[in-house]
């Protein structure tokens, strides 16, 4: 069985009490995952291109991978 890659994007981030709903999908389907509010805030910063005071952990890892020409599949 061949795995087909289907492009998706974050459609929205909605606070839901103690968690946040992340809507992910494409033009034909959307699904929801729940994450903690801190992760939702980071995702919102990313999709809104909000400037950060300092690099976050994933920014540092990304910079290290780029510097050493490392790719992840």
- Is residue 3 domain-resident? no
The tally of domains found in the chain comes to: 1
pLDDT digits (tens, 9 = 90+) for 41-57: 889 988 888 888 888 88
* 42: CB partners within 8 A, 6+ apart: 56
- Is residue 26 domain-resident? yes
Range of the domain at 38: 9-67
pLDDT digits (tens, 9 = 90+) for 2-50: 788 889 999 999 998 899 999 999 999 999 999 999 999 889 988 888 8
- Is residue 56 domain-resident? yes
- Is residue 2 domain-resident? no
C-alpha to C-alpha distance for 41 and 22, rounded to whole angstroms? 11
- Is residue 63 domain-resident? yes
Q: What is the CA radius of gyration of the chain?
A: 15
C-alpha to C-alpha distance for 33 and 13, rounded to whole angstroms? 10
């Amino acid at each position: 069985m061949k795995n087909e890659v289907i492009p998706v994007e974050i459609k929205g981030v909605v606070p839901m009490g103690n968690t946040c709903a992340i809507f992910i999908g494409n033009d034909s389907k959307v699904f929801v995952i729940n994450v903690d509010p801190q992760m939702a805030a980071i995702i919102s910063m990313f999709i809104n291109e909000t400037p950060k005071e300092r690099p976050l952990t994933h920014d540092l890892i990304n910079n290290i991978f780029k510097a050493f020409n490392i790719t992840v599949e």
